[in-house]
Structure 1
């Protein structure tokens, strides 16, 4: 037991040193001794191990100075990589992420993912092989694959329990991809994956306790507490789309009355407008809104009102340092950001508008986060 404990401690120390170099590079060995309180002998051993595994490299300080120049340690960011994959309703996105957590390549292919899970998996594997060939990536350098998609996910088994948007059910995505590629695969809800990339985007002290709210074909959230994804008992924490905001309101497709999703999802917005006019897309709604069409204006302002209530409840429940809003809603209707601030001031106890940010990752967030998760999960530091 003692030998096992000692081995575990060594692995943890090695992981700690690696993460320090990764997040705070360039560092010297004396810097690592100072940060970790480990002995110089232990730091030397760990650095030599990481060097021999080609995960870090040493770089001389070019600054002219008296005495011996410092040697800086940096991550060998291209020594390994991971693949990030997103299944959206009408598109498959895929990218390559290096050890530093940087998206070095991304590809997006239109594809009708809905109701075609087997074809979607085959298409993603084909894309993966094309990218590996095009980018000249050695398969042995690929740590694994991270997959993000909407729906209820068993992240431990890599299984889609149910996805309303994609109409997928009871599919072990991780096993299917592994069987076709031999790459270890991790699967999670797309917002939980994107929350990881948002964490790497914002200042560390802001992102430690953060809620990401995604507004698109549906609406949901991902919660970070102390830098870690909060999952709840069944990995469904953050499913705010089916929280009730109006018990006498719209009937949701889930069968309940007054769900937030029944007011602000793309499908519900278009359906509400289509009763009185030709509206088939969010672009149509944006056109009517810019023209000042009264019904569309009313529908959108009502949606923002209920969104403000939901965000106010998030601030009250979690008290995050940051709420990040993502998705196409505010890209189509940027002027509604002001309306959201006005409403939020009505429904919040404090000036929470200062803690609202808008994601800058656009369509890269899920792919980047999924790749980061795969890289961290499957990099083995023995």
Structure 2
């Protein structure tokens, strides 16, 4: 029994060391074998064995240093980024987005198709599988090279089971998305809240020391957040950490669709903004609100400035609670109303103890963030380094 446990422990340590070396090459390439010895403190023999294993699995390749120098040229190790890939998939209210992500965590192809995802879960799954097959055929991808699928969508998600517990935006409930996609494709699938998926891609976008402790705030059809602590997603006890949309910002305020009074979402989600404006004018979209705002329409200006005030309160609370190095704002709100960034800074200075505006950044990923993050998560989850 003891011998079996010892062998198991030794195998685990070997796998962990191999993973460590692979991640070092991926994040710090190009590296030489002496570099790896220096970084890991492993013996040259162990590094040689691991490098040979990774080479035989076609996950890395060796490249001679082209610089002419006296003596033997160094051999650099680099990731064979196209040896495997993963699929990133996002279900939004009116669109399905899908992309191909290589081993380096780069989005090499992306496609989006207008589709009424809301209230149509079965049709949406079928459509996504059809898109997947089309992309595999169009891009000439061998199915054996696909590590798996990552899915991001709004709502409460059981990430361990790959199950949507409930999504207000999509009106999906009790659906095992991971199992449904696996049954139709044979691809292993991981599912999570869309902002948690995007937080992974944001982590890869910003400087490593900045992104280690970061909060991503998404403002769109709803509002939510994802929290990174020491580079890892903080989930809470039931994977609902970051659901700031239903935090109370005004106990005497608007009635939220959840039944509570004064939720942040009742002031700044797209639906609530349009509903507030539609009482007095023809407003059916955020584009309509942007038009009225640019014309200086007083009611729209008041509604939007109120929304920014409550957003500033929420962000101030995030800084006080988590003290992140970065708060990254994402979503279409500030794309429609870029001038409100200044209003946010003014309000944040009122509600924060420090000059937290210096720690506010705006996402540059646009509509790629969820797809990219979902693909990275799937690639990391399903790459087996034996």
Q: What is aligned with 1:339?
A: 343
CA distance in 2, matches of 1:41, 1:345: 56
State the distance in 2 between where 1:335 and 1:115 align. 35
Identify which of 117, 121, 134 aligns with 1:117: 121
1:316 to partner: Cα distance: 0.1
Question: How far off its partner does 1:315 sit?
Answer: 0.1
Deviations 1:35-77 (A, max 9, x none): 0000000000000000000000000000000000000000000
Given the alignment of the two structures, is residue 322 of structure 1 paired with residue 326 of structure 2, yes or no?
Answer: yes
Cα distance per residue 1:170-204 (max 9 Å; x no partner)? 00000000000000000000000000000000000
SS at match of 1:259: coil
The match for 1:153 is: 157
Q: How many Å apart are 1:360 and its aligned residue?
A: 0.1
User: Deviation at 1:261?
Assistant: 0.1
Unpaired runs of 5+ residues, structure 2, are: none
Who is 2:295 aligned against? Answer: 291
- How far does residue 133 in structure 1 lie from its aligned partner after superposition? 0.1
Give the aligned length. Answer: 382
TM-score by length of 1: 1.00
After TM superposition, give the deviation of residue 168 of structure 1 in Å: 0.1
| C-alpha distance in structure 2 between counterparts of 1:298 and 1:66, whole Å | 71
SS in structure 1 at match of 2:296: coil
TM-superposed CA distance for 1:2, in Å, is: 0.7
Q: SS of the residue aligned with 1:43?
A: helix
Q: What's the counterpart of residue 58 of structure 1?
A: 62
Q: Secondary structure at the match of 1:16?
A: helix
Residue aligned with 1:276, SS: coil
Secondary structure at the counterpart of residue 95 of structure 1: strand
CA drift of 1:152 comes to 0.1
2: CA distance, partners of 1:282 / 1:114: 18
1:162 offset after TM fit, Å?
Answer: 0.1
1:295, distance to aligned residue in structure 2 (A): 0.3
Cα deviation for residue 221 of structure 1 reads 0.1
Cα deviation, residue 117, structure 1: 0.2
**For each residue in 1:321-374, what CA deviation from the matched residue of structure 2 results, as whole angstroms up to 9, or x when unmatched?**
000000000000000000000000000000000000000000000000000000
Describe the SS at the equivalent of 1:23: helix
Structure 2 distance, partners of 1:113, 1:236, is 23
Equivalent residue of 2:361, what SS?
strand
CA RMSD of aligned residues (A): 0.2
Encode CA deviations 1:266-299: one digit per residue, 9 max, x unaligned: 0000000000000000000000000000000000
Distance 1:63 1:300 in 2: 58
SS at match of 1:63: coil
Q: C-alpha separation between the residues in 2 aligned to 1:380 and 1:321? A: 33
1: CA distance between counterparts of 2:183 and 2:284? Answer: 39
The structural deviation recorded for 1:241 is 0.0
Task: Give the secondary-structure state (helix, strand or coil) at the position aligned to 2:11.
Answer: helix
- Which whole-Å deviations, capped at 9, do the CAs of 1:294-321 have from their partners, x for residues lacking one? 0000000000000000000000000000
- Distance in 1 (CA, whole Å) between partners of 2:191 and 2:47 is 35
Aligned equivalents of 2:350 and 2:76: distance in 1?
52
Q: C-alpha distance in 2, partners of 1:66/1:82? A: 42
Per-residue CA deviations over 1:218-255 (Å, capped at 9, x if unaligned) read 00000000000000000000000000000000000000
* CA distance in structure 2 between the partners assigned to 1:114 and 1:269 by the alignment: 20
1:85 aligns to what SS in structure 2? strand
